[in-house]
Amino acid sequence: MIRAGIVGGTGYTGVELLRILALHPEVDVAVVTSRTDAGLRVDSLYPGLRGYINLAFSLPDLETLAQCDVVFFATPNGTAMMMAEQLLAHGVKVIDLSADFRLKDAQEWSRWYGMEHACPDLLADAVYGLPEVNREMIKHANLVACPGCYPTAVQLGFLPLLENGLLDVTCLIADVKSGVSGAGRKAEIATLMSETGESFKAYAVSGHRHLPEITQGLELLAGTPVDLTFVPHLTPMIRGIHATLYGRTKASLDDIQALYEQRYASEMFVDVLPQGSHPDTRNVRGSNMCQMSIHQPQGAQTLVVLSVIDNLVKGAAGQAVQAMNLIFGLQEDMGLKILALYP
Nearer to a copy of itself, 59 or 339 (CB): 339
Catalytic residue among 119, 149, 171, 290: 149
- Strands 70-73, 27-33: pairing kind: unpaired
Neighbours of 335 (CB within 10 A): 21
Establish if 56 lies at the interface with a copy of itself (CB under 8 A).
Answer: no
- Out of 54, 67, 86, 229, the only residue in the binding site for a copy of itself (CB under 8 A) is 229
Query: Which DSSP string do the residues of 123-185 spell out, in sequence order?
Result: GGTPEE--HHHHHHHHHT-SEEEPPPHHHHHHHHHHHHHHHTT-S-TTSEEEEEEE-GGGG-S
Under the binding rule (CB under 8 A), the answer on residue 329 touching a copy of itself is no
Residues 8-47 that bind a copy of itself (CB under 8 A): 12, 15, 19, 22-23, 44, 46-47
Mark the segment that binds a copy of itself (CB under 8 A) among 109-117, 158-166, 272-280, 320-328. Answer: 272-280
Single residue of 133, 246, 249, 334 touching a copy of itself by CB under 8 A: 246
d(CA 246, CA 243): 10
146 catalytic? Reply is no
Compute the distance between CA of residue 191 and CA of residue 236 in angstroms, rounded to an integer.
10
Closest CA to 71 of 322, 324, 311: 324
Does 266 engage in binding with a copy of itself (CB under 8 A)?
A: no
Among 177, 209, 210, 314, interactor with a copy of itself by CB under 8 A: 177
- 163 near a copy of itself, judged by CB under 8 A: no
Q: By CB neighbour count within 10 A (0-12 exposed, 13-18 middle, 19+ buried), where does 192 fall? A: exposed
**Closest approach of Cβ 15 to a copy of itself, in Å?**
7
Q: 118 near 81, Cβ under 8 Å?
A: yes
Of 201, 223, 225, 331, the one binding a copy of itself (CB under 8 A) is: 201
Positions marked catalytic: 149
